[in-house]
Amino acid sequence: MTTALQHYHDRMKRALDHIDRHLVDPLNLDTISAVAAFSKFHFHRQFSATFGLSVHRYVQLGRMKRASFRLAYRHDHSVTRIAMDAGYDAPDAFARAFRQRFGQSPSSFRKAPDWEPWLAALGPLTNARRKIMQRSFDASDVTIREADAVPVAIMEHRGPPNEIGATIRRFIDWRKANGLPPRRSRTFNIFHSDPGHTDPRDYRMDLCAATEQVFDAGEHGVVSGIIPGGRCAVLRIVGHTDDLESAALYLYRDWLPQSGEEARDFPLYCERIAFFPDVPETEAIAELFLPLR
């Protein structure tokens, strides 16, 4: 990529970051174009040409994604409050737009989200971000750390990765019921499967909350376990942490062969430190741990 093209993409990325950080604020073309240092008279066409959708639609989809996360995973605000934060003056207008986008009313989505049409509806947003937000890493991004052993409560997800939202909902509800919210209990994911090379029916990932309490598999299927301590290669990812595959690929394909290290007999795992929608997607933080001998 030429220096000029990289500079152009960096300016466009500034525009995306500004939008993602200000989804609850009024957003207009003048402000967004100024952040990217582009002329407001040309920015709309430049944005559409780069991302395949208009500024208005990008903002709408970003707000709808945030609203849907709050409906599915956060029950601390009413549908009316969520509608207002999404830029709608009236809940009815929000409900119509939400149903048109996802095929469910906000209330029914809060009760029982249908994730397949949700994923399809947000596809243009995901694709737009991927056009210029491909992550690149180098060895300086990786630190070797002596990680402490962490006792955890584990809820297993087994099945297609695109159905993990239902498991996350159950896990959040279980954590609330047992007094283990993220502000009191660290959050981990253990990746037992590679989604790119595993039959979706056999995909497995553990959702974990740090706790010394002991649990046996009951109606929620939560059991006690431990993330063992030891040396780990740690890669910190900031922003858009819902997909960590590019980071995992870097560790296995590039960093590990060049490091002279050997992987230990425990799966790749991550600690989720800051969560969307509690923070903007650009400020979400996860640390990916590759256990080493």
Helices 29-36 + 40-51 axis angle, to 10: 80
Render pLDDT for 191-225 as a digit per residue (tens, 0 to 9): 999 988 899 999 999 999 999 999 987 767 899 99
Strand 268-274 with 142-147, pairing: unpaired
Instruction: Encode pLDDT of 268-286 as tens digits.
Output: 999 999 999 999 999 999 9
Looking at mean pLDDT, say which of 127-131, 175-179, 230-234 comes out highest: 230-234
| pLDDT value at residue 1 | 66
- Mean pLDDT over the full length of the chain: 94
pLDDT of residue 183: 92
- pLDDT over 90 (residue 75): no
Residue 8 pLDDT > 80 = yes
The reported pLDDT for the residue numbered 120 is: 95
The 3-class SS string of 88-134 reads: CCCHHHHHHHHHHHHCCCHHHHHHCCCHHHHHHHCHHHHHHHHHHCC
For the residues 118-126, what does the mean pLDDT come to? 94
- Tell whether the model's pLDDT for residue 243 goes beyond 90: no
Percentage, residues of the chain above pLDDT 70: 99
- Which residue, 10, 8, 27, 29, is CA-closest to 19? 27
43/48 Cα distance (integer angstroms): 8
Averaged over 138-147, what is the pLDDT? 96
| Domain annotation for the chain: domains and CATH numbers | 3-130 (1.10.10.60), 139-291 (3.20.80.10)
Closest CA to 71 of 30, 31, 115, 134: 115
- Report pLDDT for 103: 96
